[in-house]
Amino acid sequence: MNRRTFSAVAAAASAHTSIAAWRRKPSWYAVSTHDRTIDPNLERFMATRMKATTIEVAAGHLSLVSHPREIATLILAAAGRHA
Task: Please give the model's pTM, rounded to 2 decimal places.
Answer: 0.75
Q: Which helix (H) or strand (E) holds 1?
A: none
The Cβ of residue 32 has, within 10 Å, a number of other Cβ atoms equal to 22
Mind spelling out the 3-state secondary structure of 12-77?
HHHCCCCCCHHHCCCCEEEEECCCCCCCHHHHHHHHHHCCCEEEEECCCCCHHHHCHHHHHHHHHH
- The answer to whether the CB of 43 falls within 8 A of the CB of 31 is yes
Task: Note the pLDDT tens digit of each residue in 17-29.
Answer: 788 888 899 999 9
Task: Note the pLDDT tens digit of each residue in 25-79.
Answer: 999 999 999 999 999 999 999 999 999 999 999 999 999 999 999 999 999 999 9
